[in-house]
Chain A
Amino acid sequence: MSKVRFFLKRITQTVFLLWLVLTFLFFLFRLMPGDISDILLYQGADPDTVAEFEESWGLNDPLYVQYFQYIYNFILLEPGYSVQTNEPVWDFVKMNIFNTFILAAPAITLAYILGAVIGTVTGTKRGGKLEKFVPVPLLTIGAIPEFFLAILMIIVFAGFLGWFPTSSMIDPAVANQYSDDPWWRIYFTQSFAMHFVLPFTTVVLRYLFLPSLIMRTSVVEVLGQDFIFYKRVTGLPKSARLKSIAKHSSLPVITLYPISMARAIGGLVLIETVFNWPGMGYALVQAVLARDFATVQFVFFVIAAFVIVANFVIDIFYSVIDPRVSLDD
């Protein structure tokens, strides 16, 4: 019963948060100087045409009317039309969202798996050379601004060595070749794989230091716990103890995983821009420049929704692995 209450409470909270995000986004972008009309005028459009345009898009209505219309449409799962292409926003950005996920999700997951291993190794060898020197390159790479790291990668691996293409997600020729196939076909081409390597590696390197360092600290802390000593004295072999240490130490890392994931998905703007990767960040930049409110709002909403939902999922997952965390409240 109390679990049902927990879920109801969390769902209510989630809906409320999402509404707050929507409202905030709506008013924030209306406060920005300039709108689509200014851009059209600047581009030399006829003022009468612009007036007609404003009328047809409902831009002359009072702000609160626009707001309620917007929320109403959102509830009906219609986040509006892009002023850039006149398409529904969802059709316009769905591929970008997918492209970001396909880059960020495996990269962050790999960074966390690698980080957990590095952290365990350095943490258990406390005081050794490994523990002293491994964090240095990790932190250095983590401290380089991501766009600069991306440029370095391009210079070295695409420029000097010429192993990988410099930018975009796929060769246009290859994309054309598969234009009649289902949309997912292009993700299984060699061209995509070659384009994928550099941005993927950049994201992994960029996010590797956090799980590594957290895991290291966590392992050191767990090693000093009474129950690990007790396990040793009870005659538990080393392999079983290491398993237990890893399980305990990974708790804080698991908490961070969705946060990093959310940050990566929202924060790939620069990496996507440098690599010309047609993801969410890329779409976001284009939409902001075009004052394409509906698109901007929707993309930001997707990012926020991801963070909120991911945290919810991790809360549930956490209660499964740690019996001290209970969903009953």
Chain B
Amino acid sequence: MSDDPLLEVENLTVQYKTKEGMLTAVSDASFAVSEGEYFGVVGESGCGKSTLLLSILNALDSNGQVTNGVIRYKGEEIQDLSEQELNQRIRWKEIAYIPQGSMNSLDPLERISTQAVQLAGLHSDLNEEEALTKFEEMFEIVGIDPERIHDYPHQFSGGMKQRAIIALALFLEPSLIIADEPTTALDVIMQDQIFKHIDDIVDRVGTSIMLITHDIAVVFESCDRMAVMHGGQIAEVGPVTRIDNEPHHPYSTLLQEAFPDIREPNRDLSVIEGKPPRQIGETDYCTFVDRCPWATEECREAPPPLERAEADRSDHFVSCFRKDDVREENEQGTDDRKAPNQKSGSLANDE
């Protein structure tokens, strides 16, 4: 693993034009993915994970746009590239994608091999025969009988389609594969197999992977580094082991308590009340404030900057005004959190 960042996202803000005004889906997000790194992004539904990924792929819906910040790939800013430039230089050759709806992502009217040959024709110098041979190898890597490359998608089971999609992502040896909840529609056994394949790819092929998921356990198990998102903001970025053992952001802390841990089988799982807010206009506060037991007035007045979690660590960042307090409490095991939903409580006092 080299330290040169392959993908850098800096102060990225993405907004959608809606009837109520500009909806901010991603606000001031910054992180980097290094070469050969397995990077996880977690967060609950509606927290901006998918928008983040779509803006990196430059495939936002027509009402969405990057309003601030830059996305750098191998040092080059790619957020303003034209569709044609992206198609010629970046898409699939450099950045491949494993979609969420892999069940329906293959064209049902075309043989899978036809779709692969088409991609090879667009993005590589392989002729048809070479492309087919290579695609057969990819099928072997993901564990499907190579003879079946000529099948139609409907002849595949759900798990096979997902593996075929992974084979297509690997096909032209991209430097980065972005996987958007790649196992959503699959049963747990198949999920496990798919993640094994992805782990395998990281080990053998050395491709960087950016995995977007709401399953924090998968990230803890496989990824090198991770980002935790909430309400369009990046709450915490850092090595998985750090966030697993020493979470600094209240959301990361609570998320962990919400997941079962094999080391503490009898612990009650906690619930994080509420949901991420829908943000119309600029995000000028911490979006976690209404759900945060540590929240103070300060948290409502400005968005917390993404800062070093500890002054002497350059790889772990947290955006929380009270990160030091939270951290101290976590270490001491004391628990003087306020009751959540402070906002409604204060309203009651006003009456």
A interface list, Cβ under 8 A from B: 225-227, 229-238, 240, 244, 247-248, 321-324
Contact = CB atoms under 8 A, between A and B. Distances in A.
B106 interface: yes
12 contacts: A226-B99, A226-B105, A227-B106, A231-B107, A232-B59, A234-B91, A234-B97, A235-B91, A235-B93, A235-B123, A236-B118, A323-B108
Contacts of A226: 99, 101, 103-105
Given A233-B59, A234-B91, A227 B104 contact: yes
Nearest to A232: B59
B109 A247 contact: yes
Contacts of B93: 235
B104 A235 contact: no
Given A237-B87, A240-B118, 19 more contacts: A226-B101, A226-B105, A227-B105, A227-B107, A229-B59, A230-B97, A230-B99, A232-B59, A233-B91, A233-B99, A234-B96, A235-B91, A236-B122, A237-B122, A244-B109, A248-B109, A322-B108, A323-B111, A323-B154
B83 interface: yes
B86 interface: yes
B110 to A, nearest CB: 8
B92 interface: yes
Interface string B66-79: 00000000000000
B96 to A, nearest CB: 8
Contacts of A236: 87, 118, 122
A225 B104 contact: yes
Interface string B148-179: 00001010000000000000100000000000
Interface of B: 57, 59, 83-84, 86-88, 90-93, 96-97, 99, 101, 103-109, 111, 118-119, 122-123, 152, 154, 168
A323 B109 contact: yes
Contacts of B83: 238
Contacts of A247: 109
B101 A235 contact: no
B97 A321 contact: no
A63 to B, nearest CB: 52
B145 to A, nearest CB: 19
Max chain B C-beta neighbours (<10 A), residue from A229, A230, A244, A248:
A230
Contacts of B90: 235
A234 B119 contact: yes
Given A234-B92, A235-B123, A324 B154 contact: yes
Nearest to B84: A237
B163 to A, nearest CB: 15
B209 to A, nearest CB: 16
Nearest to B86: A235
B92 A235 contact: yes
A151 to B, nearest CB: 44
A328 to B, nearest CB: 13
Contacts of B87: 235-237
Contacts of B101: 226
B170 to A, nearest CB: 13
Contacts of B118: 236, 240
Nearest to A247: B109
Nearest to B91: A235
A30 B43 CA distance: 75
A236 B93 CA distance: 12
Contacts of B168: 234
Nearest to B63: A127
Contacts of A232: 59
Contact of A227 (B57, B108, B154): B108
A45 to B, nearest CB: 65
Contacts of A322: 108-109
Nearest to A233: B97
A182 B86 CA distance: 63
A323 B122 contact: no
Contacts of A231: 107
Given A233-B59, A234-B91, A234-B119, A324 B99 contact: no
B185 to A, nearest CB: 11
A244 B122 CA distance: 16
Contacts of A235: 86-88, 90-93, 119, 122-123
A240 B84 CA distance: 13
Contacts of B59: 229, 232-233
B107 A244 contact: yes
A232 B58 CA distance: 10
A225 to B, nearest CB: 6
Contacts of A238: 83
A229 B53 CA distance: 13
Contacts of B91: 233-235
Contacts of A323: 108-109, 111, 152, 154
Contacts of A248: 109
Contacts of B84: 237
Nearest to B94: A235
A241 to B, nearest CB: 10
Contacts of A321: 109
A242 to B, nearest CB: 13
> What are the nearest 10 A-B pairs in CB distance?
A235-B91, A226-B104, A226-B101, A230-B105, A235-B87, A323-B152, A226-B105, A233-B97, A227-B107, A324-B154
Nearest to A238: B83
A246 to B, nearest CB: 12
A197 B132 CA distance: 53
B66 to A, nearest CB: 16
A323 B156 CA distance: 13
A15 B108 CA distance: 34
